[in-house]
Amino acid sequence: MSEQKIYDLEERTFQFAKKVRFFIQKIPKSIANNEDAKQLVRASGSVAANYIEANEKLSDKDFDFRIKVCKKEAKESGLWLRLIKETNELDEVNFIEDLINESIELRKIFNAILKKRE
Please report whether residue 70 resides in a domain. Answer: yes
- This prediction has a pTM of 0.91
Question: Percent of the chain scored above 90 by pLDDT?
Answer: 88
For 75-90, letters b (16+ CB in 10 Å) and e give bbbbebbebbbeebeb
Average pLDDT, the chain: 94
Tens digit of pLDDT for each residue in 25-57? 999 999 999 999 999 999 999 999 999 999 998
Question: Percent of the chain scored above 70 by pLDDT?
Answer: 95
> How many structural domains are present in the chain?
1
Please report whether residue 39 resides in a domain. Answer: yes
Tell me which residue range forms the domain holding 75: 9-117
d(CA 53, CA 100): 24
pLDDT of 117: 87
Please report whether residue 2 resides in a domain. Answer: no
Please report whether residue 3 resides in a domain. Answer: no
Secondary structure class of 56 (helix, strand, coil): coil
Please report whether residue 4 resides in a domain. Answer: no
Please report whether residue 72 resides in a domain. Answer: yes
Please report whether residue 74 resides in a domain. Answer: yes
pLDDT of 103: 98
Closest CA to 90 of 39, 40, 25, 31: 25
CATH number of the structural domain spanning residue 63:
1.20.1440.60
Contacts 24+ apart (CB under 8 A), 3-9: 9/51, 9/109
